[in-house]
Each structure stands twice: as structure tokens, then as C-alpha cells.
Amino acid sequence: MNTKIGILYATVDGQTLKIANKIKEILVKKGNEVTLFSIEDFDGKISDYDKFIIGSSIRYGKHNAKIIEFINNHKRELDNIKNAFFSVNLVARKPERALPETNPYFIKFLKEIDWIPYRSCVFGGKLDYQKYRFIDRVLIQLIMWMTKGPTNSKTNIEYTDWDKVNQFSVLIHNM
Ligand SMILES: Cc1cc2nc3c(=O)[nH]c(=O)nc-3n(C[C@H](O)[C@H](O)[C@H](O)COP(=O)(O)O)c2cc1C
């Protein structure tokens, strides 16, 4: 029988979804049965799956509030099966901030959530100033300036390390 894997994601500009889709593609190729859900329309049961993966991007220092709520409300069910969590943010573009142990958002997340994912990963996100509202663009430019990143408003860079996405998918397959 195929291993049933659920992937629940929260995205705003699509990068977390792109990563979730890549994980799904790799896991399907390895023979798993994978279903992808947005946090907006998940109405299934965690116990219907053998493994459950959750992914969220960071906006202004925080993971998606509905994802946090979901984890808080389903801790016991999550702990009953193999699970994994991944975070997508721009601080992780720096190698020294790209591990769960070194990424400030992931560290804060673990302190707040009272849940320890069985496997976890942090991915660099996408920086595309042209897509952002004026106020967001200015604030992200400020954050980038403070952290020595690109500030040119035409910048469009994908920092996601796809080899790392591949390695994480293999880890999920093997867990
Ligand atoms: C309004 C806004 C706020 C953001 N805040 C942060 C932040 O505080 N720290 C960070 O590392 N990245 C931040 N980012 C970068 C996003 O995490 C990154 O663009 C990610 O790829 C977004 O993923 P998504 O498209 O799945 O939402 C922010 C992006 C936007 C547009």
C-alpha cells in the first residue's frame, strides 16, 4: 500500500507553494500518495495520513497565524504520526541562518509552539520588490539594507536552494 502524505502550506506570494509542489513531485516519483492543501481549505483529518508536512513563509517576523493555530489545535494528532515542518524566509538566504538551529524565526517558533516537529528545514524565499505593495517594498528594502541584502527595487531573486528541497524530500520519504 502507498504511503499517504498530506502537505499543508500557507503562502502569500507563492514561494512556499512552489516548494510544497516540488516536495510533492519528488515524493510522488518515489511512490508516495501525496495531497497538497492550502491552510485556507484544509478540511481533512490528520489521522487519514501516514505522514504530515506543514510549511509556512515568514511575514514581518511571523509564520502564518492560521498555521500556528492549526498546530496548536492538532498537536496530539501530529505527534501520533511522522511529521515535518518547513519555514520559508529571506534571512535564510544567509548560510549561517539557514538551519533550524540558527534561523531566528525557527528558534522563536519552537519556543512559542510547544511542539517539536519530527523533521524540520528552513529555506530561503523569494525577493521580488515589484510584487510588493509600496509600503511593504520600502520596509523590506529597509530590512535588506540593514542585513546587507539587495535594495534595488527591480531585484527579483529566488534564494531557494532546490538541492536542499530535494534532500528534505528524501528525508521525508525515509522517515
Ligand atoms: C510583506 C512581507 C514581509 C516579509 N517579512 C519578512 C521577514 O520579517 N523576515 C524574512 O526573513 N523574510 C520576510 N519576507 C520575505 C518572505 O518570507 C519571502 O519573500 C518568502 O519567499 C515568501 O513566501 P510566500 O510567497 O510563500 O509567502 C517578507 C515578505 C513580504 C512580502
The pLDDT tens digits along the chain (175 residues) read: 789 999 999 999 999 999 999 999 999 999 999 999 999 999 889 999 999 999 999 999 999 999 999 999 999 999 999 999 999 999 999 999 999 999 999 999 999 898 999 999 999 999 999 999 999 999 999 999 998 999 999 999 999 999 999 999 999 999 9
Q: Cα angle at 32 between 88 and 39, to 5 degrees?
A: 40
Alpha-carbon distance of 24 to 86, in angstroms, equals 14
Q: How many CA atoms lie within 13 A of 160 on its CB side?
A: 24
Return the bridge partners of 36, or none.
7
Please enumerate in sequence order all residues whose Cβ is within 8 A of that of 107, keeping only pairs 6 or more positions apart, or say none: 100, 101
Spacing, Cα 15 to ligand 1 middle (Å): 9
Give the residue whose CA is nearest to atom 4 of ligand 1.
59
Q: Would you call 9 helix, strand, or coil by DSSP? A: strand
- Smallest Cα–Cα separation from 126: which of 173, 159, 152, 148? 159
Alpha-carbon distance of 175 to 71, in angstroms, equals 20
Spacing, Cα 90 to ligand 1 middle (Å): 6
Pocket of ligand 1, candidates 13, 19, 87, 89: which has the most ligand atoms within 8 Å of its Cβ, to mutate?
Answer: 89
Give the residue whose CA is nearest to atom 21 of ligand 1.
125
Spacing, Cα 4 to ligand 1 middle (Å): 30
Spacing, Cα 174 to ligand 1 middle (Å): 30
The number of the ligand 1 atom at minimal distance from the alpha carbon of 61 is: 8
C-beta 120 within 6 A of ligand 1: no
